[in-house]
A and B are shown apart, each in its own frame.
Chain A
Amino acid sequence: MQPRTRFTRGLAYLLLLAGAVVFLFPLVWLVLTSLKPVEQTMTMPPTWLPRAYSTVINGRQMEVTLGPLQPDRPGYRQVTERSPTKMVPQPLVAGIVPVSTIESHIAPRWENYRIALATMGGRSLSEVEGSTAPRETGAGADSTVTFGTFLGNTLIVCVLGVIGAVLSNALVAYSFARIRWRGRNVVFALTLATMMIPFPVLMVPLYGVFKSLGWIGSLKPLWVPAFFANAFNIFLMRQFFRTIPEELSEAARIDGCSEWTIFWRIILPLSRPVLMVVALFHFLSAWNDFMGPLLYLTRKHTFTLAVALQNYSSQHGGVQWHHLMAASAIVILPIIVLFFFTQKTFIKGIATTGIKG
């Protein structure tokens, strides 16, 4: 740490505070937007907090949406009754009331989340509300796909992928780090070299491979490759394995242990930190992966959250920002929760990749 005067430290603190606000505010805005009724998302200047307005029209207290201020009657605003979507359309009661009689309180619309979850699979709002029957499409699957389906698909890819990544990379890294075999260093150099190959080079033939295996349209291309190790994780784990003293292995070998026993009973238990890092990073990248599902998944009921969310934005014509933000928040939340439970591992893992890289 550099020696600093109090002034410099204070200045740094202010700048960091400003930066933190800038970085954090979009996420705050995401949540705020997700809790507003649709008309309050499209106002200029922006409505900051979701509100509910109510006043008395024709002797009845009711919730209203705000209309324009009346230019000819200062202090008066037009308001319109706010009707729940369920009811058969009736002419809405409107009135012009003194601004002072309009009460407002903060009212987060949690139902946006419920609706987002229900409509993400493709059902329309009116189906969810029960006013129209579910569409029976030819494929049949469309109307029944729900958020739960997407979540399940994503979890399958993530969890199976993590298992594969941890196991396969540990095995391979062990070979590169703890067994002395002829040609090992050359093969390792080749492994590192493959990290330079951009994905587009592999994309087309890889698609062909999966096609001939009959895996296009299923989740398999997204998690099966994890069971065959990858250069980056091999590198990461090898670095860690090398820090374990050679004497441990040698002593075990002298005692007659097989290489497998040494791996399973000595090295792995000592390697929990790096195993956690690999598991975490793979989970994160699998959860966030967009291009993979875009390439390999064809039918809606196999979609992961990433493509389902993108698909959701182009559903039903116009974008319903409050629902879209709610859906986005739902996709982000598990990752944030995961991060808060595993912060230290995360941060240490990234730092290691950059320094030893």
Chain B
Amino acid sequence: MTRGERQRLRTGLLFALPWFIGLSVFTLYPVGASLFYSFCDYSVLQSPIWTGTENYQRMLHDVVFWKSLRNTGFYAALALPLGMVTSLALALLLNTGVRGLAAFRTIFYLPSIVPVVAGAMLWLWIFNGQYGLLNWALGPVCRLLGGAPPAWLADPRWAKPALVLMSLWGAGNSMIIYLAGLQDVPAELYESAELDGAGWWRRLWHITLPVISPVIYFNMIMGIIGALQTFATVFVMTGGAEGNPARSTLFYALYLFSTAFYDLRMGYASAMAWVLFLLIVTLTVLATKLSEKRVHYAG
């Protein structure tokens, strides 16, 4: 290395020192430690005892583990597509050049910055089976169809759909990202398509979506990673980490949390964490492979 190079290396490392410390202490060490713990029996009260792959084997037979996986998968499979469609639809509508764009944008974005706990309380109230706003609105419709409005969070069959509905309220965040992407679409593409007689659907499908496909891809990946780790909303809305009612809302992150901090089985929890990691990586790689053909990056 030349003297200049050595000098720059020193300065560069010095400036980046906070990150090196942070990376080591708050990321690299925990990653290594949790991998180690996942092969151990570890309650914080004693040192970890090596047990090999016992945690992973136990996981295969753990009914609750599979239930939590199914719950999380069900939620993600609903919330993700619905969320993406909602935010994209809102962005498309806003992009038509309506008056009051800023006001609409604010209204749709505001709910996504509402503190999670406060929002959860509000929606708990709206979902209330007896006095909640939602059931009052649904009452006439349900009676017409010969039924009654669901008990939402009190009913194991409707608790997860309730959580999905609530997640849509936060669509404003992605909407902003889509809107920015939509505004980057060159107007000439639309103009020439209109000249060729393309209707709005064809314009959407053949121009808009391909051009913003990187943005869609980004939101999808972020969505997968987020949905699989859902914790705070479920915790607050179901009153804890038990997944009430009847474990229907026991999401993966909740079960992990209660295993680690209530049951003090930190080895098992670490194993669950690594399974989650692998799951996320797999899904991300899968999603990337599937989108390869469809994601067009502007030249």
Contacts and interface: CB of A to CB of B under 8 A. Distances in A.
Contact of B228 (A179, A198, A207, A352): A198
A270 interface: no
A153 interface: no
Nearest to B171: A23
Interface in A343-357: 343, 346-347, 350-355, 357
A350 B96 CA distance: 21
10 contacts: A2-B95, A8-B96, A8-B200, A16-B90, A20-B104, A191-B19, A201-B30, A209-B26, A291-B232, A354-B180
A204 interface: yes
Given A42-B130, A197-B31, 10 more contacts: A1-B96, A1-B97, A9-B96, A23-B108, A175-B19, A176-B16, A194-B27, A197-B277, A198-B280, A354-B219
* Majority secondary structure, B binding face: helix
Interface residues of B, number: 104
Top 10 nearest A-B pairs (CB, nearest first) are A228-B22, A354-B177, A181-B12, A351-B180, A175-B15, A205-B33, A205-B30, A328-B118, A175-B16, A202-B30
B126 A29 contact: yes
Interface stretch (B61-69, B154-162, B266-274): B266-274
A307 to B, nearest CB: 8
B209 to A, nearest CB: 13
A22 to B, nearest CB: 9
B261 interface: yes
Contacts of A259: 11, 15
Nearest to A30: B122
Nearest to B217: A357
Interface of A: 1-4, 8-9, 12-13, 15-16, 19-20, 23-24, 26-27, 29-30, 33, 41-46, 168, 171-172, 174-176, 179-184, 187, 191, 194, 196-209, 211, 225, 227-230, 234, 259, 263, 284, 287-288, 290-291, 294-295, 305-307, 309-310, 313-314, 321, 324-325, 328-329, 331-332, 335-336, 339, 343, 346-347, 350-355, 357
A329 to B, nearest CB: 8
A353 B276 CA distance: 25
B133 A290 contact: no
Interface string B1-31: 1000100110111111111011101110111
Contact of B215 (A9, A30, A339, A354): A354
Interface string B234-252: 0110010000000000000
B96 A263 contact: no
Contacts of A324: 121, 125
A9 B122 contact: no
Contacts of B183: 1
Contacts of A23: 107-108, 110-111, 169, 172
A331 to B, nearest CB: 5
Nearest to B99: A13
Contacts of A12: 93, 96, 98
B286 interface: no
B131 A229 contact: no
Given A41-B131, A208-B44, A309-B117, A227 B18 contact: yes
Contacts of A290: 116-117, 232, 235-236
Contact of A197 (B27, B97, B177, B178): B27
Contacts of B153: none
A280 B97 CA distance: 29
A253 to B, nearest CB: 11
B56 interface: no
Nearest to A15: B93
Contact of B113 (A201, A208, A339): A339
Contact of B18 (A176, A229, A294, A331): A229
Contact of A46 (B12, B34, B131): B131
A24 B105 CA distance: 12
Nearest to B36: A205
Given A12-B96, A23-B169, A343-B106, A175 B12 contact: yes
B105 to A, nearest CB: 7
Given A198-B228, A201-B34, A355-B184, A2 B126 contact: no
A283 B10 CA distance: 32
B260 A203 contact: yes
Nearest to B174: A354
B114 interface: yes
Contacts of B179: 351
A138 B47 CA distance: 33
Nearest to A309: B117
B94 A335 contact: no
B115 A16 contact: no
B133 A46 contact: yes
A339 B105 CA distance: 13
Nearest to B189: A2
Contacts of A174: 15
Contact of A3 (B11, B21, B191, B274): B191
B110 A2 contact: no
Contacts of B181: 354-355
A228 B113 contact: no
A1 B215 contact: no
B13 A181 contact: yes
